[in-house]
Amino acid sequence: MNNVTSSLDIEIGAGSLDDDSPKDECGVLGISTPHGEGVAQLAFFGLFALQHRGQEAAGIAVSDGQRARVHKDAGLVSTVFTPEALAPLAGYHAIGHTRYSTTGSSSLRNIQPFLVETMHGTLAVAHNGNLVNAGDLRDELLSRGFGLTATSDTEVFTLMLAAAGGRTWEERIERTMPAWKGAYSMVILANDRVLAVRDPWGFRPLSVGRLPRGGFAVASETCALATLGCVEISEVQPGEIVTLMGAEMHRRQAVAPAVKSALCSFEFVYFSRPDSEWDDRNVHQVRQRLGEELADEWGAEADVVVPVPDSSIPAAIGYSRRSGIPYNDGLIKNRYIGRTFIEPTQAMRERGVAMKFNALGANLAGQRVVLIDDSLVRGTTAGPLVALLREAGASEVHMRITCPPITHACHFGVDMGHEDELIAAKRTVEEIRAHIGADSLAFLSLERMMRAIDRDSGYCNACFTGSYPINIGETRGKLKFEGVLA
């Protein structure tokens, strides 16, 4: 039933050339149609639109009402799903997943969806987020005699649902949700339906829409629903269960939303695709406003505004518009390098950022540059980028960041590293400026970031403030369950 053919201990990718960017755990997708034509192909194109949320692995599970099949493997959506791989995935209902790991390593045993057989029929689960109490729940499952084969908290979700009491999957989910503490936007495949579930705090996005030929789709971002031609798009509300059964959709408020919601502000800063909508806001427009606020707060005497492509382009447009400094391209990104399986030579590794970016000397020579980036995490990329601009002839480089300094780890589905890896947790802004070699460095304040989002509350900003919306308990790394299943 599981089409993964590689050894369980093979690790995905020798290294990333984008280690200084925060990594979102994944994207999820669910589809239910009354006609069953091309459901796996629809899932493929939906996942393709969510590729930016995870490039380590991808998977699709499909049910025809009686039997479920899954295909999943390491790699990008376009390489995992060939026509031959999609052909056996026939049915009416499907869920899919693109993965970047935050709990559990990148080994193949952790690739989603997880598919199991239960006394109530087949069950497949995929999710975006992170449970802060996954360790306690995992220990409880082990004490009850469950055998665990993976080190991902998605397996915890799956086994808890498989063992839950209740007449329907909706009842089993509702009974189990109070035990889950943390972030989860989840899709669940049963024999005859797809269910979508969002945590009471609303950490991670999840939206549902009507397919043009009948049926429904649910996805982490509205850009995937738009790719599928969906209309009547709306958010899955915090604490809500949405059931998709062919031509029918049912909504159920399973648990009360948290008194204070905790939507992830980083979805606007970096993660979401610019054409997505979330919290009734267009991501691209918010990013432009981030740039405008940055120009108001931290202007610079300069000749040109240059973005670090691609996520910083809207903010650079906003900064240019507000400041009156012309916008131009100064860095060209190799969009195909992604996560490579080929280990670079030492000489190439030393070139680092030059493997991913080339500088446009004709636009930079003799220019005072404002370099716009969305975030500065470990500080491993900013310095080489500044040096690349100087080598191309820039006379000054003033770096501007569209969010506050990241000083604390995220425990809700974003891999930013721990405090000892975050450069802003260890150094002042002036020390960071000296470290990266910029003429000046400034970060957007939290107040102005929230002004750009047009909200004064309801968002999680713990990575900037250290004020977590829920008790995170004992903090452990993403490989916290790897000790036994090595």
- Residues classed as catalytic: 26
Q: How many whole angstroms from its chain centre is CA 65?
A: 30
In order of 51, 314, 386, 398, the CA distances from 368 in angstroms are: 35, 20, 12, 8
Q: Does residue 372 sit in helix, strand or coil?
A: strand
Distant-in-sequence contacts of 168-172, Cβ < 8 A, 24+ apart:
169/120, 169/123, 169/193, 169/195, 170/195, 170/241, 170/243, 170/252, 170/254, 172/120
**Tokens matching residue 14:** 């020798």
Phi then psi for 221, rounded to 5 degrees? -135, 150
Closest-CA residue to 332 (of 363, 304, 303, 302) = 363
| Euclidean distance between CA atoms 98 and 76, whole angstroms | 8
Tokens (6 digits) for 334: 């190799």
Would you give the distance in Å from CA 462 to the centre of its chain?
17
In 18-146, where does DSSP find H-type helix?
39-49, 77-80, 83-86, 134-143
Q: Which two tokens stand for residue 338?
A: 């992604």
Sheet strands (E) in 64-151: 68-74, 93-99, 114-118, 121-131
Helix count and strand count (H, E) for the chain: 17, 27
Residue 91 DSSP class: S
- Is the separation of the CB atoms in 92 and 142 below 8 Å? no
Strand partners, 307: 372
What is the token pair recorded at 363? 């636009």
